[in-house]
Amino acid sequence: MVIATPQSFIEWFAAPQLESAASTRRARSLWMIAWTFFGLVAVMLAAAIVATPATLERRGISILMVGVLVLVLHGLNRRGRTAIGSWVFVLGLTAIVTQRAWYTGGIHAPVALFYMMFVLIAAGLLGIRGTVVVALACITSATLLTGGELAGWLPPAARGGSTAAAFVAIALSLAVTVLCLTLLLRDAEQLAAEDLVHMFVHDMRSPLTVVMARLTMLRADVVDSTESLGHAEAAMAEAMRLNRMANSLLDITRLQNAHLRIHRSPTDLAQLARDVVRRMGAMDPSRRIEVDAGAPVVCECDQELLRRIIENLVSNALKHTPGGGHIIVRVISGEGSVRLSVHDEGPGIAKDARAGAFARYSARGTRARSGHHSAGLGLAFCKLAVAEHGGRIWIEDAEPHGSVFIVELPAHA
């Protein structure tokens, strides 16, 4: 309910003033985002019309549609229905962009940018639930556009490029955006919202597997183009990283709730380390990764969990070792135990920050100066998985600089 009734037409467009301070803050946030977005769209499309007058009708309609949408949500916002206005805003914008893309020939780069922008807006206005719903709406819209273009229902677009590749780019970008946002926002939500994220991440793994398969096919089709192959390799690396993050998030919850069973079998850790290094080194040849192990080092462990522990530790070392640097994975055996260590050449971790390095979502605090993005899940997973094996993990200083992540496991269960 609005406290003050507008006295003039101009005053109606002012920021809403509601009964409570909290309601007013939310309403003014929506007011600022909505009108700022409309202003940017109007300026950009007006500039495009000046540059290409033939697009006056098409772009003028787009400005009009966004303007009407903002007026509708502003009316709702002034009446204190800010949540409804927020949903109208983000879902309405998604529908408008999808309709205009259908009219102009299907998926193209601006569509992906707009979809990601809408997910970010939903995160700010509606939290995790809104982020997930809007992301699903964008994926559905992208699927509709892709199907319509492949079926020949859309008018021809005056552009090149692969429709399938554009859809993969949109899907992968939205998946990464949603996962990062949900991880950042989870501390502000209740347990039910966290369960929703876990459900989403669980369901996301199936389409992610399809995306990775498509990228593998795409990579095989562009072997004659060095630039395209580089893009395909980069997309595959990001898809693999996202897959590791999703698996780690789910398994951290299972380990904490004792719902993840380990299956022990005699495993040669030296050979397992070589397999991981061979695959990850091929994905990032800018750093040299070496395995230092003599005879086979066998222990009774869950081979898949140990593989993922090594992958996370090597991935962490790659993030923080500069180009041209050297990473050493050392595997040795002792009396009744085995030890695996990963030496990097990064900036190192202060002693008072080492204990917190293995906490979930801790990457922002421990090594943020490295400049690399991390959701802080890999090391948390490593600690829980090592503890489940009856072992321990810790950090020491490397010589002459860097860090050493050390895993010690019992040789026998």
Look at residue 395 in the predicted model and tell me its pLDDT. Answer: 93
* Least reliable range by pLDDT among 201-205, 225-229, 401-405: 201-205
Most confident of 115-119, 302-306, 372-376: 302-306
Look at residue 370 in the predicted model and tell me its pLDDT. Answer: 41
Report which of residues 40 and 257 the model is more confident about.
40
Look at residue 367 in the predicted model and tell me its pLDDT. Answer: 43
* Half-sphere exposure at residue 179, Cβ-oriented, CA atoms within 13 angstroms: 29
Report which of residues 205 and 73 the model is more confident about.
73
Specify the CATH superfamily of domain 265-410: Histidine kinase-like ATPase, C-terminal domain (3.30.565.10)
Domain layout of the chain by residue ranges: 9-256, 265-410
CB burial of residue 283 (10 Å; 0-12, 13-18, 19+) = middle
Look at residue 189 in the predicted model and tell me its pLDDT. Answer: 47
How far apart are the C-alpha atoms of 211 and 97, rounded to whole Å? 23
Segment 30-56 mean pLDDT = 86
31-to-62, 176, 375 alpha-carbon distances in Å: 20, 28, 31
H or E segment to which residue 132 belongs: helix 109-150
Question: DSSP letters along 8-50, please?
Answer: SHHHHTSPP-BSSHHHHHHHHHHHHHHHHHHHHHHHHHHHHHH
Q: pLDDT tens across 57-94, in order?
A: 888 999 999 999 999 999 999 999 999 999 999 999 99
Flag whether pLDDT at 159 surpasses 80: no
How far apart are the C-alpha atoms of 203 and 198, rounded to whole Å? 9
Segment 302-315 mean pLDDT = 90
How far apart are the C-alpha atoms of 152 and 166, rounded to whole Å? 16
CB 174 within 8 A of CB 117: no
H or E segment to which residue 188 belongs: none
- Tokens matching residue 26: 């939310």
CA dihedral 114, 116, 119, 125 (to 10 degrees): -70
Report which of residues 236 and 353 the model is more confident about.
353
Q: Is 5 helix (H, G, I), strand (E, B) or coil?
A: coil
Task: List Cβ<8 Å contacts ≥24 apart for 10-15.
Answer: 12/78, 13/74
Q: pLDDT tens across 260-288, in order?
A: 678 899 999 999 999 999 888 877 778 88
